[in-house]
């Protein structure tokens, strides 16, 4: 059980620290998060339900005016998959399958 919790907590801690870096200013951060209705924890859960594995990176993006979380997941088979989670509905879907994970991602 401990092995499953540690990567999840590590991903949560690392992603929380990196979220504020995505905005160039406090005003931009406010604009990005103003309509956000899905928490980081909810986004992580939705992403892993869509693609089972370990979230190794997650970030908040406001691509084309729609706020979304972009998560990179390492599957048990060693594949890297990018999953997008809608920031208002929480719906997750596979955006891109990147194939076999690079060695640094699999460690």
The four Cα atoms 41, 48, 97, 104 give a dihedral, to 10 degrees, of 70
Q: pLDDT tens track of the chain, all 107 residues? A: 334 444 554 444 444 444 434 677 888 778 778 878 999 999 999 999 999 999 999 998 887 778 899 999 999 999 999 999 999 999 998 887 777 766 555 55
Q: pTM (2 decimals)?
A: 0.70
Q: What is the pLDDT of residues 53-71, one digit of tens each?
A: 999 999 988 877 788 999 9
pLDDT at position 104 is: 55
Kindly state the tokens that stand for 37: 């209705």
Q: In whole angstroms, give the CA distance from residue 58 to residue 88.
A: 16
Cα–Cα distance list, 23 to 4, 12, 92 (Å): 31, 18, 23
């Amino acid at each position: 059980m401990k092995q499953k919790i540690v990567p999840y907590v590590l991903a949560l801690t690392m992603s929380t620290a990196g979220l504020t870096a995505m905005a160039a200013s406090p005003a931009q951060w406010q604009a990005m998060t103003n309509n956000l209705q899905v928490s980081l924890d909810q986004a992580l859960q939705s992403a892993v339900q869509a693609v089972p594995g370990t979230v190794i990176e997650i970030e908040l993006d406001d691509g084309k005016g729609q706020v979304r979380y972009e998560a990179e997941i390492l599957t048990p088979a060693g594949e890297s998959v990018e999953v997008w989670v809608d920031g208002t509905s929480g719906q997750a879907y596979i955006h891109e399958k990147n194939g076999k994970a690079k060695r640094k991602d699999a460690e």
